[in-house]
Amino acid sequence: MANVTLVFAVLLAGLGVGGYVGTGSEHPTALIPAAFGIVLGVFGFLAVSPDPNRRRLFMHINVMVAVLGFFGSLIEIFRNLISTEELDMTALAAKLGLAWLLLIYVILCIWSFVTARRVEAIAALRSAEKK
């Protein structure tokens, strides 16, 4: 899952840089997805480890960062939609892209965590049966 994290980090960095360029390089807040990509990339790189406890720690940190980013981007999307100001469609698209990528990442991580727990439980049952 750490390698998947690195892929999502690159996608988020690309989204941030693309949003920044798409807004005419006027709004540095368009780089927020790139910041999430950097954070996920750093912790994803730290999760590439043979030690399962270290990998588990950094992957859980990544999921929490992604969950916070997802809810933060949703709040911003709704705030923009109910605002009386004119919508900046490029910024809205970048926020939707950020929310979508982070949601997919969180779902993949949860699926991976559940699968890992099932494998551990099955291994524990098999070792208990052998005794």
Q: What is the mean pLDDT of residues 26-31?
A: 86
Q: What is the largest CA-CA distance in the chain?
A: 69
Alpha carbons 127 and 130: distance in angstroms, whole number: 5
H or E stretch covering 121: helix 89-130
- Yes or no: say if 8 and 42 are a contact pair by the CB < 8 Å rule: no
Tens digits of residue pLDDT in 52-79: 899 999 999 999 999 999 999 999 999 9
Tens digits of residue pLDDT in 77-115: 999 888 888 888 888 888 999 999 999 999 999 999 999
Q: Model confidence at 123, in pLDDT bands (50, 70, 90)?
A: confident
Residue 86: left if φ>0, alpha if ψ -120 to 50, beta else—which one? beta
Q: Model confidence at 30, in pLDDT bands (50, 70, 90)?
A: confident
Query: What local confidence, expressed as pLDDT, does residue 127 receive?
Result: 86
- Residue 55 to residues 91, 115, 118, 119: CA-CA distances in angstroms? 34, 15, 17, 16
Percent of the chain at pLDDT > 70 equals 99
Is 7's pLDDT higher than 80?
yes
- Yes or no: say if 44 and 62 are a contact pair by the CB < 8 Å rule: yes
